[in-house]
Structure 1
C-alpha cells in the first residue's frame, strides 16, 4: 500500500519506537466483524445460529470477529439478526452508556452501526434520534434501522445547527461520530488513501469543531457526550477535545481511547467521553399528530387480522400517506424526516398496504399467519421469487429459522413476494 509521505511522517512522530510495528500492520488483511442484534435474539443464540461468528470483540459484548467474505448476503442478515461492523468501530457506542428511557442523539449517524448499537442498549424504550446531513446516506441509515427492527428511533436529515437551535439542553446522551480524514480506514478502504491531504485534515478539524459546539448546546446538565473518529490525527482527536474543553469549561473529560491496528485486532479508531455540569434537561414540543380517520380504520382492520396483539400507541399519518407509530416522548423534528418510529404502512386513500418495517419489528409469535422457509426457499424468496403455499389466504410473516424476513401475501395457492425490490439478492 502506497501511503502518503506526510501521513507517514506524522505517524512516525506520534508513535516513536512503535512506528515500525504500526507500519508492518499495513501488510496484514483488514479485520472484519459482526454484531448480534439483541433486540431480536441473545448473543449466545446468535452464535449458535450463525456459524461464522467467531471470537468475541473485547469492547463490545455482542460483537464477534469473522472471516466470512460476504456476511451481508446471509439470510440472518436479511432477518436483521446482525449488523456487519468493523470491530474497532464498535468501541464508541458502549462508552456513551445509553440506557432505556433516555433521550439519545446520534448526530452523524450513517450508515447506522452505532445507531443500532445505541438502540440495543435502550431496549426499545426512550427516544433515539439518528441524524445524517447527507440525504442519500440518511436513506441507508433508515434502511438499517428498519432491518434491525428498531421501534423507538426517528431518522432525520438536518444540519447540526438546525438541530441545536431546536433542542437546547434536551438530550441525556449524544454521540458525535464525526466526519474525519479516515486514516484509520486506509487498510480497509484503500481508496481513502487518495483522498488524504493535510488540507483535508484541516477542513475536517474545522467541521468537527463546529459540530461539537452544536452538540454541546443540545446536551443537558449531567449528560454524557462521546466524540469519535476513525483517524489517528491528533488535531482531529486529542487536540480537538482539548480545544473543545477550553471553549466549554462546563464539560469534563472522563476517558480517551485510541485503538491502533498494531495493538488491537481491528482498524484505527478514537473515542473520548465527556460529561457536562449544569442544570436539568429542557423540554421541546411533541411531534405533531396528523389524524386521518379513514387511514386509521384501514390500519385497525389490517392489524386485527394480522396480529395476535396489535401494537398500540400514538399514531400519525404523514402528508404522503405513510403511517407511523410514534415513540413515547418523540419531539417535533426539523429537517427531512425519513422515519418517525415504527412505520406501519401507507394509506393511498382507499386501502392500507403494510410496510416492511412493520414485520421487521414483529415477533413471530404475535403474527397470526406465518410461512417458515428453509434455506433453499429463503434464498429464492430473497431474490424476489414467488413460492407455492398451502396455507390460508392473506398477509403473513415470512420466516427464516423463526425470524421474520419480510411480508408475503397468500392467494390461490401461491405466496406473493413483498420483499422490497431494492433489498433483494441478485442471482449468482
Structure 2
C-alpha cells in the first residue's frame, strides 16, 4: 500500500517516525487482530483463543489469527469487543489518572461504534456513562453495541457537542476520540489513503478545536480530559495539546509507560504537553495518539437548564412488572413511550437533567412492554447484566444458536411461555414457546445474514 508522499514528508521531524520501517509495515499487508473481553459476561480466559495478552490493557488480547466473528454466537452475546490494541491504551490512562471510579460521571463524546464506550462501561461499573454520537445512523450502531455490552449505567445520546453546554461543570471525565484525517487507519482501511490530504488535516484540526471548545465548559474543575485521534499529523495531535494547555486552561498529565511496549512519548513544541504515539512498525497495533489533561479553570456553574419529569409506572403496572421480574431496591422503573426501563435510583435525577438538554436514544435497560396480562420482554433485558435467574432458560449448541441469530424457525423443547436462549451460559435473546410453534424474538435488524 503506497503511503501519501505528503504524509511522509510531514512526519520527518515527528517523534518516533522512521520512514523506512513505516513504509515497510504498510507494504507488508500484515493485519493485527485484538479483542477485549467483557469483565462479567466472559471471564478473562484464553482457553478459546490462541495469542497473547495486550500489556497496557488488563482485558485485552491479541489473536494469532482472525476468526469469523459474525459466526461466533458469543460475539453477539457481548462476551468480547473487537478493538484495535492501540485504542485500548485508554484503559492504562484511566488506571493511572482516575483510580477511583465510584460515582464518576463520564462522557464519551464521539462514541460510535462503541469501542471506547464499552471499555469505559467496564472501567466505570459504578459510575454513569453518557455515550454520545452526533450522526444519527452511527448512533443506531452505538445503541446496538452498548445494548450487547449490557451495562445498566449507560445513557446513549445523539447530539452535537454544543448541545451539552447547558450542563456546565457536570462531568468528571470526558473522552474525545476526535474525528480526524485517519492516517493511522491506512492498514485497516486502504480507502482512507485516497481521502487523505494536507488540506483535510487542516480542516480536521480546526474541527477538533471547535469540538473541544464546545465541550470543555462541561468538564468539572480538576476533571480529566482524554483526547485521542487515529492520525499521525502533529496538527491534530501535539499542536492540539499545545492549544489546550496554552489557551484553554488545561494542564498536561503524564501517563507512565513501559519501554518494552514500543509506545513513543512525545512532547508538544510550545508547552511541552505530553502525548503518546503508536506506530505499527514499533508495536502490534494501528496508528493512534492519546494525550491527557486536567482542567485548571472553573466555568460559571449553571442550573443545568431545564429538567424533564420522568414518567413512572402506576401501582398496577409496577406490581405486574415486579411479578414478571423481581428487582433489587436500588433500581427504579420509568417509562419511555410504551416501554418500561430500569436504572439505579441514584441516577434518576441525572436522567431528568440529561433529558432536559439532550436527545436520549437509550437510558438504563429496557425491560419490555405490557400487553394486556402479558409482558413482552425487551432484547435489552436479555443482553443486560441484570439478574435473570427467574426466567426459564434453554441451552442450545452453536448450530442452533446460529439458526436463532439468523432469526430462522427453530425446533427445540422449551417450557411454555418466555424463555432465554443460552449459548455457553450467555443469553442470546428471547423465544416464546407456544403449543404448536416457537416464536423467535431476536431483533430483525440485528439478524445474521452471512451464511
**Taking structure 1 as the reference length, what is the TM-score of the superposition?**
0.90
Q: Deviations over 1:18-73 (max 9, x none)?
A: 211111111231211111011323212xx23xx23521112111011122242243
Q: Deviations over 1:77-100 (max 9, x none)?
A: 011100111111211244134523
Q: Does 1:110 align with 2:112?
A: yes
Q: How many residues align?
A: 418
| Partners of 1:372 and 1:398 within 8 A in 2 | yes
Look up the match of 1:264.
283
CA-CA distance at 1:416 after TM superposition: 1.8
CA-CA distance at 1:367 after TM superposition: 3.1
Q: Which runs of 5+ in 1 are unaligned?
A: none
CA-CA distance at 1:311 after TM superposition: 7.8
Look up the match of 1:394.
417
2:419 aligned counterpart, secondary structure: strand
CA-CA distance at 1:219 after TM superposition: 1.1
| Partners of 2:420 and 2:431 within 8 A in 1 | yes
Match of 2:340 among 319, 323, 327: 323
Q: Provide closer, same or farther for how the CA distance between residues 152 and 373 of structure 1 changes in structure 2, counting only shifts above 3 A.
A: same
Q: Provide closer, same or farther for how the CA distance between residues 408 and 280 of structure 1 changes in structure 2, counting only shifts above 3 A.
A: farther
Q: Deviations over 1:130-152 (max 9, x none)?
A: 11110111110111000111211
Q: Deviations over 1:74-124 (max 9, x none)?
A: 11101110011111121124413452321000011111000010000112x
Q: Does 1:423 align with 2:446?
A: yes
Q: Which runs of 5+ in 2 are unaligned?
A: 256-274
Q: Deviations over 1:293-352 (max 9, x none)?
A: 3xx7456425523x465686232212x323221343224223321101112223578864
CA-CA distance at 1:166 after TM superposition: 2.0
Q: Distance in 2 between matches of 1:311 and 1:417?
A: 32
Q: Does 1:275 align with 2:294?
A: yes
Q: Distance in 2 between matches of 1:214 and 1:22?
A: 35
Q: Distance in 2 between matches of 1:53 and 1:315?
A: 43
CA-CA distance at 1:240 after TM superposition: 0.7
**Taking structure 2 as the reference length, what is the TM-score of the superposition?**
0.86
RMSD: 2.5
CA-CA distance at 1:425 after TM superposition: 1.4
Look up the match of 1:87.
85
Q: Distance in 1 between matches of 2:149 and 2:82?
A: 12
1:231 aligned counterpart, secondary structure: coil
Range with greater deviation from structure 2 (234-243 or 53-62) = 53-62
Q: Provide closer, same or farther for how the CA distance between residues 298 and 170 of structure 1 changes in structure 2, counting only shifts above 3 A.
A: same
| Partners of 2:3 and 2:26 within 8 A in 1 | no
Q: Distance in 1 between matches of 2:203 and 2:340?
A: 40
Q: Does 1:57 align with 2:54?
A: yes
